[in-house]
Structure 1
Amino acid sequence: PPQLPRWKRSRRELLQCLERFLQALVTGEPLSVPPAAGQPGWERFLACCRGQGLLAPQERHGRPETPAATAGPLYLILDDNFYYQSMRYEVYQLARKYSMSFCQLFLDCPLECCLQRNRLRSHPLPDQTICLMARKIEMPDLKKNAWEQNSLILKSFDRTLEDDEQIISFLATALENPVKQNKENLEQKEADRAICAASTVHQADQICRRIISQAMKDAKDKNILPSEMKSLAEELNKLKAEILEDLRQGNNLKNQTCSVTSSFQREATNVVNKYIFK
């Protein structure tokens, strides 16, 4: 199988490290590196835990570390965009597996406000990155997803005292209501959905490949330079990868293949025309 993108490998590795911490928290056993996680990533995770005071002091160097005993409730805050619902669902699955609480705090901020705030950062991201994130991000859907019921959506213009009080109350309520194992076989449902998604993505991939092949033939017929043909191929393949990733992460897979490939056809034509009419 093709190697996962670096960002996806990093996310998966972090989730594996987080699960090892939860296992140790529940069982009291020492922490151990996940088989699939790289040593550098594991060391960064441990360093972060130490910095937060989450690990007990080692009695001697080299001894496996264990989670520190806590006098009060322990909150693990994952500060990330989690722009796809599927990303957040992976964390929910961990909470359910270990019967822990799970909640989501979503800050709803207008795009223009995000762009303004980004420009004030010491190392701002490109505007197009912020715009792309705004287009892709999926808000919690409390009506559709039962697992997202425990979500708080705040308008992120200016933080107020009322917001702080609401967040504190929200966290306290979540702590009192840990996720319980569902009697229904949700894991099987997710496996079925994954199979359906893989089939849909495969179909779309085959269609996109044919579109690219025809686009390259059309470009060659227009006598585009070999160096530009190479750039064109790279651009079309990058476009294909982005569209397939969006499809792969989508929740509603029905009737998506046709709309996605139609969209790819239009965008591919625009890319080719850019080279033809230079």
Structure 2
Amino acid sequence: MGLPGSGKSSLARKLLQALDEMEGSLVQSDGVSEADPSKAMQGQKKVVYIEYDAIEESILQTTFNNERSIDKEDYQSAISESQQRQAWNEARLIAVDRLREELETAATWSNESSASSFPKIILMDDNFHLRGMRKQIHRLLLHYKDTVSIKFGIFWLTCPLQVCLEYNRQRTARQVVPDHVLENMDRTLEPPTRAAWESLSCLEISSETPWVDVLNFMNHCPSIVDVPPEPDEEQQARDRHATNTNRIHNLDQLLRQWVGQTAQVDRRYAKAANGARKDILNQLKDGILDGNDRDSLKDLFLELVIPSLSESLELQNKFKDKLTSA
């Protein structure tokens, strides 16, 4: 994951080359070709590289029958914003479908003896700047975790915005992302959270990150972790309302006790005490008061009952002592 121009595709190509040099691998780009399982039996890894931008570009070129070498201005002017958005959406669907196909294949072979000899690495190359995009992939993988041993990792390329803008401007033809789009992506980017499914499976990569750390993370990627079920927002709202209603009810009972205790000290103040109860109760319902500090609540109650500081201090102390004992 990372902004356009952060180096995601360059990293992916470097990983593909490293895998090929270290162990030999069967590389298929964008999940199109089918690898020969007999070769995998020889201990090779099958590497599937799914590049979202390449899929989108293929869709647009098919639509307009243009070559990538066409002038950037001519190519971009031939594409409307709605057509580009449609191609972007189609590319995302195709990428996820290709991932699903690979998982289905792995699940089909899971009961065969060759399955353990046929490890598969799938590189999904996209911005993934929104958490929902990453969670979509994670949820799909979780669907197969009971039949296939799955590990999950996120390479997060943390390249400064200005550097991304500069690299992006050096791209050719349709690869260039408008500055305002890239800047908006930077503002809306949702970093991996502390949730286990992301925090335990993410490597943050900068220009200072040693290459060996990248390889170690890929080779020792953690097993996929379940996402806790998302809370029901409507149920949460109902629970909060019930809790708040119960809290206000309990405070109302306390205030009624104070009204009774006030009347026992001096019945002349019973009406003022009940008025103070209603006033405080309304402030609690409106969220002006939280009612958590009982001493402060009691002081406010007494101020409303005896608003004038010229009243007898002896009477105030009697009220306070009575309320404290209550």
TM range (shorter): 0.3 to 0.5
Higher strand share: 2
- Alignment TM-score, normalising by the size of structure 1: 0.44
- Alignment TM-score, normalising by the size of structure 2: 0.38
Larger radius of gyration: 2
